[in-house]
Amino acid sequence: MEIYLDNSATTKSCKEAVDAAVWAMQEEYGNPSSLHRRGFTAQKLCEEARSALAAALSCAPSELYFTSGATEANNMALIGAAEARKRRGKTILVSAVEHPSVLEAALFLEKQGYRIKKIPPAEDGIFTAESFAKEVDGDTILVSAMAVNNETGLILPVKEIAKSVKAKNPDVLFHTDAVQAFLKRPIRLKGSGIDLLSVSGHKVYAPKGVGALYIKKGVRIAPLLYGGGQQGGVRSGTEPVPLIAAFGAAVQKGKQRLSENMAHYAQLSAFLEERAKAVPQIRMEKRPQHAPHIVSLSVYGIRSETMLHYLEQFGIYVSSGSACSKGKRSHVLEALGVDRMTADETLRISFSPDTTQEMIEELICRIAEGARSLAAQR
């Protein structure tokens, strides 16, 4: 039996997504910009997917732009907003625990002369709206804070942050990377104060290579790509119809099952926590303000990569910190005040709707066994 517990790194495409992609590749192969019927029907498929996404985010379809993924959506949000607002100010705030696709885009902007301020969490590892608002001044043009952290599941209070930074300076744009929150927690964009929001297909059971950026009506950002003017010129490039259709199908399914899946994740994480208590080598922090589909734990005395490969022998797949920070020290755990040794021993377990309690039982047994046998080998 394969036990795939790395769903925050990526997911297996659901059947609905695969069927939609195959249909689009074989039947709806037209270019959405073509003026003939083949173009029109391909365009229609894209619009159906856009509407499914809009329904899941409670926004208008016209506020959504398909991208190649969340890396592109995050780059577009930061660099596009900075470029469009460069005459108003030069300061950008980002949380210290953002994904590299936000932090590296911010670093790029810093080299272009923007001022980047990284907002750390409070002593207790929690982010407050106040810690962002107090750094906002007349020069601030953009604030970016993710909805759920991809390494630990920490929830940031994005709506409160959006409201309080705008109370201080109404011209500030607020962006959130909602990749790990989308279809795991309810998101209602209407009236939220969020101007820009990024999502990714492959974290929600659609294929890799597709994502979307929400741009609130009336907000202007500069494009990153210049070309044929597709998607209103905001994101040029022929739309990848099969990927978009698959994304739409996966989102529709995910939206229908949102509350069921949320309850499932809460049960699984409570079960994992309970079972982990019986293994003295496992350390798990108390998890207030954490999304239940991502669990971070450390195994005393065993480096996470060693444990990851030990588990792999039994067909159990987990992640050491985040899959995106391959081998590098985690900036997230560092910002959250986790000591170096514990950070090196941290595993990330992330669930899907198909994860069962038996899988968690097996995981915990194997970790306990591994903790004993690997320690004996040292």
Catalytic residue list: 324
Which residue minimizes CB distance to ligand PMP?
Answer: 69
Is 69 a binding residue for ligand PMP by CB under 6 A? The answer is yes
Count Cβ atoms below 10 Å from residue 144 Cβ, excluding itself.
Answer: 28
Residues 6+ apart with CB under 8 A from 377: none
Minimal distance, residue 44 CB to ligand PMP, in Å: 25
Least Cα distance to 179 among 147, 215, 210, 209 occurs for 147
Using the rule CB under 6 A, which residue among 126, 222, 324, 374 binds ligand PMP? 324
Minimal distance, residue 100 CB to ligand PMP, in Å: 8
Is 321 a binding residue for ligand PMP by CB under 6 A? The answer is no
Query: Mask 17-56, x = binds ligand PMP (CB under 6 A)?
Result: ----------------------------------------
**Interface with ligand PMP in residues 113-152 (CB under 6 A):** 146, 150
Question: Which residues is 113 bridged to in the sheet?
Answer: none
Query: Mask 276-315, x = binds ligand PMP (CB under 6 A)?
Result: ----------------------------------------
**The total number of residues written for the chain in this structure:** 378
Is 71 a binding residue for ligand PMP by CB under 6 A? The answer is yes
Rounded Cα distance between 176 and 145, Å, is 5
- 316 φ, ψ to 5°? -105, 125
Minimal distance, residue 215 CB to ligand PMP, in Å: 17
Count Cβ atoms below 10 Å from residue 25 Cβ, excluding itself.
Answer: 14
Count Cβ atoms below 10 Å from residue 30 Cβ, excluding itself.
Answer: 19
Minimal distance, residue 157 CB to ligand PMP, in Å: 16
Q: Are 67 and 211 in contact (CB under 8 A)?
A: yes
Amino acid identity at 205: Y
Residues 6+ apart with CB under 8 A from 203: 7, 8, 10, 11, 70, 179, 180, 182
Rounded Cα distance between 316 and 310, Å, is 9
Closer residue to ligand PMP in complex, CB, 44/329:
329
Span from 68-76, 103-111, 188-196, 233-241 in contact with ligand PMP (CB under 6 A): 68-76
Question: Which residues is 350 bridged to in the sheet?
Answer: 6, 294
Using the rule CB under 6 A, which residue among 140, 144, 152, 180 binds ligand PMP? 180
Is 211 a binding residue for ligand PMP by CB under 6 A? The answer is yes
Is 200 a binding residue for ligand PMP by CB under 6 A? The answer is yes
Q: Would you give the end-to-end CA distance of the chain in angstroms?
A: 29
Is 177 a binding residue for ligand PMP by CB under 6 A? The answer is yes
Is 13 a binding residue for ligand PMP by CB under 6 A? The answer is no
Least Cα distance to 332 among 95, 142, 141 occurs for 95
Q: Are 85 and 140 in contact (CB under 8 A)?
A: no
Closer residue to ligand PMP in complex, CB, 74/140:
74
Is 70 a binding residue for ligand PMP by CB under 6 A? The answer is yes
Is 269 a binding residue for ligand PMP by CB under 6 A? The answer is no
Interacting residue ranges for ligand PMP, rule: CB under 6 A: 69-71, 74, 99, 101, 146, 150, 177, 179-180, 200, 202, 211, 324
